[in-house]
Structure 1
Amino acid sequence: MPDQLPDPLVADFARRVATRDEPPPYVPPRQDRAAIEERLDHALLRDVGVRLRNRRHTTVQLLLALLPHEQQTGVQLADAIGVARPTAVQALQKLVAAGLLDYPKTGRHRHFRITRAGQDWLLPLLTGETGPAA
């Protein structure tokens, strides 16, 4: 009997069975600004309940503007992302209510800062590791 090549259908099936318990290859998460904003946007809807897309976008921008600073006033944050102050304050209050930010009042100004819980919530989202528990 001449050498017969295995049927390609059988060969493909045998390969799939042989590798079925191997984990898929690791694909590192994207770290560009758009990918980070998208992860934060989805997490804000899931964990904080900010429903309107434009509000989530504003809230994401506020969080990203606050990252390099220990604390910032609402006015500084609004100016940093180019939104009206009432819009920024409304979005910041959502983050305060969720426990992601707080604002120790010093004098006339509220200086918003990321809480410890907020840091723990944000870091996995920023790095692309598994997201925080809801």
Structure 2
Amino acid sequence: MALSSEARIAQFAERLARRDAPVPPDPARFEPARVLDRLQRALQPLTQMRLYKGRLTLARMCYAFLDGKELSSAALQQAAGIGDIAGSRARTRLERAGLLRHYYPGSQRRYRLTRYGEDWLLAVAQDTEIPPPPVVA
């Protein structure tokens, strides 16, 4: 059965209206597993780590900063589920990537995200465009 010209135009208008309507956001995009997956994928170009397990460790450390502004070595290791040596290596990778920095407020070393690290983490967690890394002179 052939459509009338009027029906075809109505279908065309409806298709164009749907084309211009924004795609509704996925409500599951903020689930921890999805955020961790985005984090580990976004860490690959920054850290040059090829192994999924290593990037997942770094992603868990980054994810821990969603709850706290600064964390101790032990808190980062606990968040990632790793020991002292692996924790030290992971923190060093995040520092070299420009996402993390350490300081001494007293006798214990504490870790914070850099300004770029905060912007990067927010963009990855919200599934928006990741900012380019800062240019080091």
Same fold per superposition (TM over 0.5): yes
Moved over 6 A (4+): none
Of Structure 1 and Structure 2, which has the larger fraction of its residues in helix?
2
**What SS does the corresponding residue of 1:112 show, helix, strand or coil?**
strand
Alpha-carbon distance between aligned partners in 2 of 1:21 and 1:82, rounded to the nearest angstrom: 46
Quote the residue 1:27 is aligned against: 24
Distance 1:21 1:70 in 2: 42
Count of residue correspondences: 127
* 1:45 counterpart residue number: 44
Gaps of 5+ in 1: none
Q: Which has the higher contact order (CA 8 A, sep 6+)?
A: 1
Supply the AA of the counterpart residue of 1:68. Answer: D
Between structure 1 and structure 2, the one with the greater Rg is: 1
| Mapped pair 1:5 → 2:2 | yes
Shift of 1:20: 9.8
Q: CA deviation at 1:83?
A: 1.0
Alignment root-mean-square deviation, CA: 2.9
TM-score for the superposition, normalised by structure 2: 0.75
SS of equivalent to 2:19: coil
CA distance in 2, matches of 1:132, 1:43: 11
Question: What is the aligned-residue identity percentage?
Answer: 27
When normalised by structure 1's length, the TM-score is 0.77
